[in-house]
């Protein structure tokens, strides 16, 4: 399992790479319905990478904000989606909700396994 610092570094790198690629191909992502949905999905990946970065930073520094990390990451992802197309905002929100549900489920699995040992 990777340390928090390593995971934080990789998630920041992936956040920057995904955001810059999305902005580079903004016109292509807004050109058709399917690409618009893809733009929303890439924005939800921005949400996931930023949420991972903030969560690892909080773990290293000892700061706990509760839902603050989710709200900040979702706001940044929705703004990034809005620069591509208005429909990307809606699809980003839906994909982000699904990703958050799956991350929460995975987090609960690791806690229950940790309690057993």
The pLDDT score that the predictor gives to residue 64 is 84
Sort residue 47 into left (φ over 0), alpha (ψ -120 to 50) or beta: alpha
Q: Is the dihedral of CA 25, 73, 87, 40 positive or negative?
A: positive
Residues 6+ apart with CB under 8 A from 69: 51, 54, 55, 58
pLDDT in tens, 62-112: 888 788 999 999 999 999 999 999 999 999 999 999 999 999 999 887 655
Per-residue pLDDT, averaged over 16-42, amounts to 96
Confidence of residue 40 (pLDDT cuts 50, 70, 90): very high
Question: 63 by DSSP, 3-state: which?
Answer: coil
The pLDDT score that the predictor gives to residue 113 is 62
């Amino acid at each position: 399992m990777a340390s928090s610092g390593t995971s934080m570094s990789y998630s920041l790198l992936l956040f920057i790479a995904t955001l810059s690629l999305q902005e580079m191909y903004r016109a292509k992502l807004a050109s058709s319905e399917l690409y618009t949905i893809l733009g929303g999905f890439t924005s939800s990946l921005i949400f996931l990478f930023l949420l991972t970065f903030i969560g690892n930073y909080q773990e290293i520094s000892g700061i706990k904000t509760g839902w603050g990390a989710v709200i900040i990451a979702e706001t940044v992802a929705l703004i990034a989606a809005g620069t591509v197309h208005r429909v990307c905002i809606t699809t980003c929100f839906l994909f982000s909700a699904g990703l958050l549900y799956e991350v929460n489920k995975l987090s609960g699995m690791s806690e229950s396994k940790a309690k057993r040992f």
